[in-house]
Structure 1
């Protein structure tokens, strides 16, 4: 009995130990299992999140890839276009700037003072171009005509008195001189090479000394325009560069800084026309300047008449009506009379007064040319020996 009891007691103790031990082991395993399960869940969530992010990024990248590509391309292309536009703008700007810097010091402002009731009074202003380092300046005749006192203002601000050397009213050009040496001079170009559309840059004093050195730019609008003004015919370049009255006598330049014309007239004051400025072509001006400097006058072949274009519907005659014949001229010697109508000159039909100049420009003083005039219903042919130009009232 006692042995059995001891054995049962032992079995119960072992069982209790085993139960206790077994309980402890079971509890630890459940905790580990829960931790493993939690770790797996977190890992799954992380993997899912990362996968979702990658997938979303891929889908978004694919969806907007074209747009992104376009934006990148635009960012690569646009700066180049902007650079090109900037370069073009800079080139144009630099071209005009260089011309202004090159020619500006050779352009002067001219003030004309005439005797008035209260003494010397301003009679007008204009511009001029220094063409000789010893103080010779070319300008328009109308800028200095009738002046009692002429002053010249340089780009530096210095003012000097000037005197009239010689003038040619027909070409509207004059030469004045200041007592100075080593002055900067402008470079005269070749106006025969000028083309419509070429850059044209005007420099001068558009509204007097307060706006001296003003620069305007445009293009050459037309070549060999013939403008009749004040009884004279001008062969001029037409430009849309802004030219105001004070620009008269100033230079019209090309993009190389060469003077291609001398600004002289502006059409539009009475006709509300804008962008129509005119300049005497420099080739014509050069020959006049040389003549004035060498001989003190300009020698031109001259018929010896004053008149105007006319059309007689009654007599069916068209030509140039002779209003006056200059004494001792070629026309006077040939027997041309007032009221005659010149219908042909040098075998060319005459329809307008400008046609006479076209013929005369091809001849020299002393040439004899045929002339047909209509007089009292008859056509008469005479020979006229071209003489030198004689100004009216001289």
Structure 2
């Protein structure tokens, strides 16, 4: 992202580690920021694949011939598909968001100025589609893309989704483009090596490469003032402004994540987060096809203010429903204000973040069973999930 410079101060937020397969969660208070809008995550390098049928040959001669290093091979293969992205905004918008260089005059000039930079990668060379973060291109009046061969092209925004922090751009000149290969992030294990490629600080340091490991999976980041990001990959990569939207790659040259955020507490290093590619692909496809993405929803409003009361009174924890759309799926199934949802199917949810995260694991139209508490009694109903579109 490019630092919406003075705007992006470290913000306190609640990090809930939501285990996709195990259903176990833990809670800690952290400070998260988007490393740019313009800033990001760098990540690092990978072996240790969960798929034992795939021979890991790239490491064979790393001690005797550095040119055979997996990181070198990944950089050669994926680097040409990585692009720099510039977000241009009007002077008045920059002043409104605090992007100026320290002074705020009252000019109403409509001149376009580079507000920030980020990264992206070519997902479809034939059609010129590029994936990046929503926060990299947010509020842009003009977007340009810098390619590995030196070309600088204006890009069209095809679609964006703030709920998942994803966006798709398109360039019209598709000659001599290189596209990435997508991996399967659902098979990632803690300790696997990964490589991050991006443009920290803008085009001056284009396609910089860093390497490290997957530190954890299934992290939930509740960004203060931003959308909650679910099931994130955590990496120990160095973080520098400009890497947001760039790829996190395994040692097979496959994209397994999209670098998106970092832990910004003073004294902490090497805590970056990437959107798993296997969860991003359905959103990317929707953005390309429709310009917007649809998400599964109950169409209720939830609150965690109930949790303190529940702990004091030794009541079951859950997601407290304080408003219900009577025409929505939950309303039609009989969910009422004051109900406390404790399970989706057989998965326990103890707060609103876990409820939404679990809902997002399903698709629009899926049937789920909600277990809830009403007036001290446990009840259950089946609900067909509705939809909400991109914000």
TM-score by length of 2: 0.70
Aligned length: 307
Residue aligned with 1:300, SS: strand
With over 3 angstroms needed to count, the CA separation of the structure-2 counterparts of 1:236 and 1:93, relative to structure 1, is farther
With over 3 angstroms needed to count, the CA separation of the structure-2 counterparts of 1:347 and 1:106, relative to structure 1, is closer
Deviation digits for residues 166-193 of structure 1 (CA, Å, limit 9, x no counterpart): 1122211110011111311111122233
With over 3 angstroms needed to count, the CA separation of the structure-2 counterparts of 1:258 and 1:337, relative to structure 1, is same
Q: Once the 2 structures are TM-superposed, how far is the Cα of residue 327 of structure 1 from its aligned partner? A: 6.6
Q: Does 1:232 align with 2:225?
A: no
Deviation digits for residues 64-87 of structure 1 (CA, Å, limit 9, x no counterpart): xxxxxxxxxxxxxxxxxxxxx995
With over 3 angstroms needed to count, the CA separation of the structure-2 counterparts of 1:139 and 1:92, relative to structure 1, is same
With over 3 angstroms needed to count, the CA separation of the structure-2 counterparts of 1:390 and 1:161, relative to structure 1, is closer
Q: Does 1:389 align with 2:382?
A: no
Deviation digits for residues 296-333 of structure 1 (CA, Å, limit 9, x no counterpart): 33333211134344242343231113354457421333
Structure 2 partner of 1:41 = none
With over 3 angstroms needed to count, the CA separation of the structure-2 counterparts of 1:165 and 1:198, relative to structure 1, is same
With over 3 angstroms needed to count, the CA separation of the structure-2 counterparts of 1:374 and 1:168, relative to structure 1, is same
Structure 1 partner of 2:256 = 260
Residue aligned with 1:275, SS: coil
Q: Once the 2 structures are TM-superposed, how far is the Cα of residue 197 of structure 1 from its aligned partner? A: 2.2
Structure 2 partner of 1:173 = 166
Residue aligned with 2:230, SS: strand
Residue aligned with 2:69, SS: helix
Structure 1 partner of 2:313 = 315
Structure 1 partner of 2:131 = 138
Aligned 8 A contact 1:161 1:178 in 2? yes
Q: 1:123 aligns with which of 95, 115, 130?
A: 115
TM-score by length of 1: 0.70
With over 3 angstroms needed to count, the CA separation of the structure-2 counterparts of 1:89 and 1:326, relative to structure 1, is farther
Between structure 1 and structure 2, the one with the greater Rg is 1
With over 3 angstroms needed to count, the CA separation of the structure-2 counterparts of 1:155 and 1:188, relative to structure 1, is same
Structure 2 partner of 1:106 = 81
Q: 1:248 aligns with which of 223, 226, 244?
A: 244
Aligned 8 A contact 2:160 2:287 in 1? yes
Q: Does 1:147 align with 2:140?
A: yes
Structure 1 partner of 2:280 = 285
Residue aligned with 1:247, SS: coil
Structure 1 stretch displaced more, 100-109 or 116-125: 116-125
Q: Does 1:299 align with 2:298?
A: no
Residue aligned with 2:294, SS: coil
Q: Once the 2 structures are TM-superposed, how far is the Cα of residue 374 of structure 1 from its aligned partner? A: 4.0
Q: Once the 2 structures are TM-superposed, how far is the Cα of residue 286 of structure 1 from its aligned partner? A: 1.9
With over 3 angstroms needed to count, the CA separation of the structure-2 counterparts of 1:156 and 1:324, relative to structure 1, is farther
What is the CA–CA distance in structure 2 between the aligned matches of 1:157 and 1:285, rounded to whole Å?
A: 28
Q: 2:198 aligns with which of 178, 197, 204?
A: 204
Structure 2 partner of 1:161 = 154
Structure 2 partner of 1:30 = none
Residue aligned with 1:197, SS: coil
Aligned 8 A contact 2:161 2:167 in 1? yes
Structure 2 partner of 1:355 = 354
Residue aligned with 2:293, SS: coil
Aligned 8 A contact 2:82 2:120 in 1? yes
Q: 2:208 aligns with which of 203, 207, 214?
A: 214
What is the CA–CA distance in structure 1 between the aligned matches of 2:169 and 2:365, rounded to whole Å?
A: 31
What is the CA–CA distance in structure 1 between the aligned matches of 2:326 and 2:136, rounded to whole Å?
A: 30
What is the CA–CA distance in structure 1 between the aligned matches of 2:191 and 2:148, rounded to whole Å?
A: 29
Residue aligned with 2:252, SS: coil
Q: Does 1:90 align with 2:75?
A: no
RMSD (Å), alpha carbons? 2.8
Q: Once the 2 structures are TM-superposed, how far is the Cα of residue 273 of structure 1 from its aligned partner? A: 2.2
